[in-house]
Structure 1
Amino acid sequence: MDAVKPRIAIDMDEVMGDTLGKMLECYNRDYADCLTVDDLRGKKLRHVAKCGSEVSKYFEDPSFLRDLKVIPDSQDVIRELQSRYEIFIATAAMEVPASFAAKYEWLKEHFDFIPNTHIVFCGDKSIINADYLIDDHAYQFERFRGQGILYTASHNIEETRYPRVNNWREVADLFLK
């Protein structure tokens, strides 16, 4: 009988895929602005955008998340993690129901080594039964029973309540050493 591997659940947006980069690209194009990630330190785009929370309109496009850039090293590190851990992708797709198909297609293109049975579309991630959750939103850890690991993003830079990783090499150092 195989030993039970510890489980790691991993968020998709801003952890595996560069959602903010795509939003900034679209926003700057549509509003003739030149905001950068550095302009957002400690804030979300909707807090500094000329159009405010209207930037969320991008998520209404069912294909918006389909062509995100892959966060550097995420593919290699997640593939390595699978040798020691059971890996699940846990994405809060219920926040943007139109995104299901695009998220799934993106995952199948860039992370085809993750079985379909290990992709979880959810809302409240406290439902996930895992030892660790790597996520860029600290609120997801509040009811999660395992250990939350905060993946650095511009909006969470001031969060100090949880262990933090800044990139996928740091994830590898944390889990594979």
Structure 2
Amino acid sequence: MRKSIIAVDMDDTICHLVKRAIYHNNNDFPTHVLKYEEMLDWNTDHLRHPDCTQDVFYGRPGLYEELELFDEHVVGEMEKLHNAYDVIIVTAAQPQAVVEKWNWLQKHMPFIPIGNFFPCKRKNLINYDLLIDDGVHNLVPALQDGRKVLCIPHPWNLRAREQYGFPLLTSWEGAKEKIDQIFEIQETS
């Protein structure tokens, strides 16, 4: 019997990218201080210093290797999921960030094999049963394709959460049990 496939995003799902990018932005451009709560959209051009492009904000060498874990439960819950399901990491990445993201994953979650690591921006092209993500651009197509989703809440997905009513994963504590319930409900439907 095939195990259910759980696709898990990296940035701002199992680790904190935006908060770390904001930290560097605020050190490099103190006249244009950003706050996490202000990140209401992916397009933050109006908030940043003119010299801070998307490439500068997210392209700092070494940025992806210094990211903090999402919370103290994420590693344990990801390992439980890995043991019960076919967990794949599906993460958007510029070519220079792929190695950094793999290094981060191996440091924190070495149980995830290379064959389960997919650098991919268009996640709807990947086959999975459940997507755990913070990006509306990934969650909405998954829902439209009839797939299960869990949304990691952040300011930039608030409007879509209200519009689509995504089920939320606000903490990784108890994530496996929550996902087990989702799949049990699916099997009895």
What residue identity is the alignment partner of 2:12? E
SS at match of 1:164: coil
Question: Following TM superposition, where does structure 1 have runs of at least 4 consecutive aligned residues deviating by more than 4 angstroms?
Answer: none
Q: Can you give the 5+ residue segments of structure 2 that lack an aligned partner in the other structure?
A: 182-189
Query: Corresponding residue for 2:157?
Result: 156
Q: State the Cα deviation string for residues 1-31 of structure 1 (Å, max 9, x = none).
A: xx32111000000001110111111011011
Query: Corresponding residue for 1:120?
Result: 118
Give aligned-pair identity as a percent: 22
Shift of 1:34: 4.3
Equivalent of residue 132 in structure 1, options 119, 130, 133: 130
Query: Corresponding residue for 2:59?
Result: 60
Is the Cα–Cα contact under 8 Å of residues 49 and 55 in structure 1 kept in the other structure? no
> Which is further off, 56-65 or 160-169?
56-65
Q: State the Cα deviation string for residues 123-159 of structure 1 (Å, max 9, x = none).
A: 2101111100111111113433422221112211222
Is the Cα–Cα contact under 8 Å of residues 89 and 119 in structure 1 kept in the other structure? yes
SS at match of 1:133: strand
Query: Corresponding residue for 1:168?
Result: 172
TM-score (normalizing by structure 2): 0.80
Query: Corresponding residue for 2:19?
Result: 21
TM-align CA RMSD: 2.2
Equivalent of residue 102 in structure 1, options 90, 100, 103: 100
SS at match of 2:34: coil
Shift of 1:58: 3.3
What residue identity is the alignment partner of 1:175? I
TM-score (normalizing by structure 1): 0.85
Distance 2:46 2:180 in 1: 37
Query: Corresponding residue for 1:143?
Result: 141
